[in-house]
Chain A
């Protein structure tokens, strides 16, 4: 069965302390892997799409990478405003999208 697992479930960082979030997947024939940010009570906000192993994308303090079995979201020198839940999703060949349960990030000033 297609599955997406994110780790850790929660992460507390000091401001400026870099770290990485992990998303592992078991989908066969991956069509795309997506990272979203979600603030409490709001819909997910699109961050990145990755389509092939070795691909990398960056936006401000965030960098997403993809291998054949997992993706990492690297956060460099985070700020308190980066606090949110980060969701990973994969698109299977049948066009369904499967989401992980997210990593709740808290950045402490």
Chain B
């Protein structure tokens, strides 16, 4: 399968614990995005990378969230001191930075987080 993959698919944790999610983008894609989606809502932008550089972060992203993309390949999203409000589906998407303005994101299956 050459699509976007995410690991784990499901995570249950206790409030206050740290969690880390991984995303492997489509191999030739240089942009990688993280989103959060809660039930009945559309995906909400968190942050994105072009190669290894983190270019933008949502102002909604608290200091407990950090993302990395070492060497411009896979990315990790860490949530420290989880809270019940962090329970959501965390989606990763990748795209190829175009020469023109055209860009399409392809999504992974998501990681569903439940904070007890």
- Do A and B interact with each other, yes or no? yes
Separation of A99 and B35 alpha carbons in the complex (Å): 10
Q: Write out the residue numbers on chain A whose beta carbons fall within 8 Å of the beta carbon of B104.
A: 32, 34, 46, 49
Separation of A95 and B105 alpha carbons in the complex (Å): 12
Q: Contact flags (1/0) for A25-47 with B, using CB distance below 8 Å? A: 00000011010100001111110
For A, the interface residue count at a CB cutoff of 8 angstroms equals: 25
Q: Contact flags (1/0) for A68-97 with B, using CB distance below 8 Å? A: 000000000000000000010101001111
Task: Give the residues from 83 to 103 in chain B that come closer than 8 angstroms, CB to CB, to chain A.
Answer: 91, 93, 101-103
The reply to whether B103 and A96 form a contact with Cβ atoms under 8 Å apart is: no
Q: Write out the residue numbers on chain A whose beta carbons fall within 8 Å of the beta carbon of B6.
A: 43
The reply to whether A91 and B103 form a contact with Cβ atoms under 8 Å apart is: yes
Among the listed stretches B13-21, B40-48, B62-70, B71-79, which one makes contact with chain A, having 4 or more residues with CB under 8 Å of it?
B40-48
CB distance from A18 to the nearest CB of B (A): 25
Separation of A99 and B33 alpha carbons in the complex (Å): 13
Q: Can you list 9 pairs linking A and B with CB atoms under 8 Å apart?
A: A31-B103, A32-B104, A34-B104, A41-B112, A42-B110, A44-B43, A46-B105, A87-B42, A96-B45
Q: What is A's interface to B at a CB cutoff of 8 Å?
A: 4, 31-32, 34, 36, 41-46, 49, 51, 87, 89, 91, 94-102
